[in-house]
Structure 1
Amino acid sequence: MSLPLNTFADVHDATAQARFNMIEQQIRPWNVLDERVLEALADVRREDFVPPAYQGLAFADVEIPLSLPVDEAERLGQVMLAPRVDARMLQELSILPTDRVLEIGAGSGYMAALLAHQAEQVVSLELVPELVEVARENLRSAGVRNADVRQADAACDPIPDGPFDVVVLSGSVAEVPAKLLALLRDGGRLGAIVGLEPMMRATIVRRVGERFETSQPWDAIVPRLRHFAEPSAFRF
Structure 2
Amino acid sequence: MHGEVVRAVKESKRSKRSRFLRDAMVDVQIAGRGIRSRRVLLAMRQVPREVFLGRRFAEAAYEDSAVPIPKGQTISQPYIVARMLEAAAIAKSERVLEIGAGSGYLAALAAKLGREVCALERHEALVERARSRLRHLGCRNVDVRHGDGTAGWPEGGQFDVILVSAAGAETPAVLKTQLTLLGRLVIPIGDPNGVQWLTKLTREPDGSFIEERIEEVRFVPLISG
Q: Same fold (TM over 0.5)?
A: yes
Find the residue that maps to 1:36 and give its secondary structure: helix
Match of 1:173 in 2: 168
Among residues 31, 53, 72, which one is paired with 1:28 in the alignment? 31
Please state if 1:155 is matched with 2:158.
no
Match of 1:52 in 2: 55
CA contact (8 A) 2:107 2:117 kept: yes
1:1-236 matches, within 5 Å, as 12-67=15-70, 73=72, 78-156=73-151, 159-196=154-191, 197-209=193-205, 210-227=207-224
Unaligned runs of 5+ in 2: 1-10
Give the superposition deviation at 1:79. 1.1
Give the superposition deviation at 1:157. 7.0
Find the residue that maps to 2:166 and give its secondary structure: strand
What do residues 146-181 of structure 1 show as CA deviations (whole Å, max 9, x unaligned)?
Answer: 000011012247632121100110121111111101
Q: Which has the larger radius of gyration?
A: 1
2-side partners of 1:23 and 1:200: how far apart? 25
1-side partners of 2:136 and 2:77: how far apart? 22
Partner amino acid, structure 1, of 2:156? D
1-side partners of 2:47 and 2:177: how far apart? 31
Give the superposition deviation at 1:19. 0.6
What do residues 172-223 of structure 1 show as CA deviations (whole Å, max 9, x unaligned)?
Answer: 1111111101101111100001111432111100111211111112111122
The TM-score, its normalising length taken from structure 1, stands at: 0.85
The TM-score, its normalising length taken from structure 2, stands at: 0.89
The alignment of Structure 1 onto Structure 2 pairs a total of residues equal to 212
1-side partners of 2:131 and 2:83: how far apart? 24
Q: Which runs of 4+ in 1 moved over 6 A?
A: none
CA contact (8 A) 1:164 1:185 kept: yes
Distance of aligned partners of 1:101 and 1:20 in 2 relative to their CA distance in 1, 3 Å threshold: same
Percent of paired sites with the same residue? 34
2-side partners of 1:158 and 1:22: how far apart? 33
Give the superposition deviation at 1:41. 0.2
Partner amino acid, structure 1, of 2:197? R
Find the residue that maps to 2:106 and give its secondary structure: helix
